[in-house]
Amino acid sequence: MDFKVGEKIKLIIGKESDLGVAVIINDSDEGLIFHSDIFQSLYEGEHIDGFIKKIREDGLIDVSLKPQGYKNVVELNAIAILDLLNANDGLIDLHDKSSPKEIETALHMSKKAFKAAVGLLFKTRQIELKEDGIRLL
């Protein structure tokens, strides 16, 4: 089947390997979600939505659980940060010195993705950066 990068797809979760988790795409093709792209628990046989991340020259397909493209990802991550701020009285103790594990645990995103989303929220004057965290404006 012909896929396009960014296309939304249906996945069936397969076995875990050293590289990531194998998936069946739209009941027909095989793909892989790399460990570095997984920020949630996945269970073999689970049905879940995903997105085409990359189609390799050798025909292998890399899959993501989040939409691709800077704008999509940053905006979704910014919403997640705002949701966490709202759930915590407008203050969270995450900042640019927080460990990647702390950020992943709290927000299910990488530190790089967190910093990009915080940058967007700061530029649009929705948050204030404090030494001990982030405050909602």
- Tell me how many domains the chain contains: 2
Same domain, 78 and 112: yes
Domain CATH number, residue 47 = 2.40.50.140
Picking from 64, 83, 109, the residue at the C-terminal end of a domain is 64
pLDDT tens-digit map of 115-137: 999 999 999 999 999 988 999 99
Same domain, 57 and 31: yes
Same domain, 52 and 108: no
Picking from 20, 47, 64, the residue at the C-terminal end of a domain is 64
**Residue 33: its pLDDT value, please?**
96
Same domain, 55 and 88: no
Look at residue 1 and tell me if it is in a domain.
Answer: no
Answer yes or no: are the C-beta atoms of 74 and 115 closer than 8 Å.
no
H-helix or E-strand spanning residue 94: none
Residue-level pLDDT, tens digit, the chain, 137 residues:
689 888 999 999 999 999 999 999 999 999 999 998 888 899 999 999 999 999 998 889 999 998 877 677 888 899 999 999 999 999 999 998 999 999 999 998 889 999 999 999 999 999 999 988 999 99
Q: Which residue has the tokens 């249906």?
A: 10
Point out which residues pair with 23 in neighbouring strands: 13, 31
Cα distance between residue 14 and residue 45, in whole Å: 6
Look at residue 3 and tell me if it is in a domain.
Answer: no
Domain coverage including residue 54: 8-64
* Three-state SS at 69: coil
